[in-house]
Each structure stands twice: as C-alpha cells, then as structure tokens.
Amino acid sequence: MIKDRGMKKWHGFMMSEHTDMLGNRDWDMHKTNKPELDEYQLQEIDEKLKVALEYKFPMILTLWLDGFEEDLEGVVHKIDDINKIIYVNEITGNLNKVDYDSIINVDFTE
C-alpha cells in the first residue's frame, strides 16, 4: 500500500518570500491616488479648520495616508501655519499631529 503525504508535498512550492510578495501586491492594488484639490477646496478646508479652532467644534478630518483614506474625529487644538501641522485632540483623548497636505476633507459633527 502506498502512503500519500497529502497536501504536505505541495507546500514546498511557495516560499515565505513569495507569499509576502503576493500579500504586498494585494495591498498595493487597493491603494488610491491622492485627490487633486483646487484652490476653492483648499480655502474651504482652511476656513473650516480656523472656525473649528476658534469655537472648539468637533469635526471629522478625512486624511489621505499612503494611498488610503482615514477619518480622524476630534477637536482642533492648535494650527501651526509655518510648519503646516495641525494638532487634533481625538475623542479618546490622544493628541495627534496631522500634516496639512494629507487633509482632503473637513466636516463638522453634531
């Protein structure tokens, strides 16, 4: 009687480097290009940020980070115009530093 090794004999074809490359390829396929914002949209984002800072309005920042969009909910703590950095207090209490160039949308929450 022949003893078969089953699937064990097929596992040797995929090296760990190959599986990593396939995983990275799938990850890269879901990335998007950064949306191009015109002057009106940039001005609107800037005005909303300054209003949110002055009146401490809670808001949702939509950020473009390394090909993916992420939402950050919180209150603007400080705006550094020279370095183009915005400090946001999250609802969880963490203070985040956000690069101004990564912001693609700003919405106020209720």
pLDDT for residue 100 is more than 90 = yes
User: Which of 76, 73, 74 lies closest to 54 in space, CA to CA?
Assistant: 76
Fill in the amino acid letter for 1: M
- Would you give the DSSP letter of residue 44? H
What global pTM score does this model have?
0.75
Alpha-carbon gap, residue 100 to 50, rounded angstroms: 13
Range name among 24-28, 39-43, 94-98, 101-105 with the lowest pLDDT average: 24-28
Interacting residues of 84 by C-beta distance below 8 A, sequence separation 6+:
99, 100, 101
The string of pLDDT tens digits covering residues 21-68 is 777 776 778 888 999 999 999 999 999 999 999 999 999 999 999 899
Domain 39-108 is of which CATH architecture?
Answer: Roll (2.30)
Question: What is the model's pLDDT at position 15?
Answer: 66
CA distances from 54 to 4, 62, 65, 67, 72 (A): 73, 20, 26, 31, 19
pLDDT for residue 10 is more than 90 = no
**Domain ranges (residues) in the chain:** 39-108
Confidence of residue 17 (pLDDT cuts 50, 70, 90): confident
Question: What is the model's pLDDT at position 5?
Answer: 64
pLDDT for residue 4 is more than 70 = no
